[in-house]
Amino acid sequence: MQRHEPLGGAEFAPETTYLNSASSGLLPRRSAAALRAAIDESTSYGTMGRDYFAAATASRAAFARLLGLPAERVAIGSSVAVRSALIAASLPPGAEVLAPEGDFSSLLNPFGAHPGVTLRTVPLEALADAVGPGTALVAFSAVQSLDGRIADLAAVREAARAHGARTFVDATQAAGWLPLRAADFDYLVAGAYKWLMCPRGATFLAFGGAHGTDADGTDGGGTDAGGTDGGGTGGEGPHWPAPLHAGWAAGEDPGASNYGLITPAAGARRFDEPPVFLSYAGAEASLALVEELGVAAVHDHNTALAAYYREGLAERGLTPRPAPGSAIVSTPGLVDAADRLAEAGVQVSVRGGLLRAAFHLYNSTADVDRLLALLG
């Protein structure tokens, strides 16, 4: 195959052979520098820095551009589970939530734990066919954390539309390498510390255009980043749940929202958690790098390395879990190799009895060769 060198140039020089982006991404050098600067700033200006909201605002805008939405449709936070709980709380009593079996717990558990919500799970491959007239919400990961399987996004979206169900996509294992269009779904959440290479504590919730009304109760219009109607079904706007955890940072004017009841912001900012200052200082720089490289280029790079690895496994008589087109490759029968790989400085992970390798923009063909040689 064509040899692939890392993308990003001098932004990365890890001391390990790092093939574990499905657990957490490497921090670019520019992001590390931004964090150091923010820490230094905090010693003289407090832990909110000189401009508390600047990095979070820039990060919100960058994430919105990557997902094809206006920034007004993106909320910032720190946890996927908190966002899942918000969406769960917005559902009517008795609502059915349909989800894949064994999906990530931060997505599933808030629905399973919420009183009045019925969580029904089916195999990922059966998800679209399982949507029915009683389904209120389909919640699923775009890419499965365990084994890298990619959901049939179009099929699930169309099935949900046909039955009037909303869609909630967890893009934590997808955003940054898999091209996505958030406007095609009602809600999209992403923990940014994996493939987007942000410090942990930066999470985004995007509101698409598949159903619902705008904040003023009118039919939502709005445009996406390309200037076209942002609706997923005929141009309808986002569905805004009640801002159940809105604090001062979610106010229309945060400076005037410290005491008493607040007036929530008009757009998705009403769902903001107070930004984690240091996390978003690094996130601004990391997201800028992803934008510079382009998700399409990262996708081609990552999937080429994953395909090369699968070929090498096949030559050794090893068969990974099927996950066509994924940057994540999980293989049974290799768990015992994990400690040996770690001792040799090769970072992978073990999940559910599978050796999981994840290939990202800072990896190269040489990294794959080293992993395969150590597997024997």
Query: What's the CATH number for 32-291?
Result: 3.40.640.10
The 10 Å Cβ neighbour count of residue 292 is: 11
- Within the chain, all domains assigned CATH 3.40.640.10 are found at 32-291
pLDDT mean values, one per 10 residues, the chain (376 residues) = 90 97 98 98 97 98 97 97 97 97 98 96 98 98 98 98 97 98 97 98 91 36 32 59 94 94 95 97 98 98 98 97 98 95 97 98 98 95
Which of 229, 99, 104, 88 is closest to 174 using CA atoms? 104
> Quick one: pLDDT at residue 231?
34
User: What's the pTM?
Assistant: 0.92
- Domain 9-27+294-375 CATH (choose: 3.90.1150.10, 3.60.21.10, 3.30.300.130, 2.40.50.140): 3.90.1150.10
- Within the chain, all domains assigned CATH 3.90.1150.10 are found at 9-27+294-375
> Quick one: pLDDT at residue 232?
36
Q: What is the per-residue burial (b if ≥16 Cβ within 10 Å, else e) of 256-289?
A: ebeeeebebbebbbbbbbbbbbbbbbbbbbbbbb
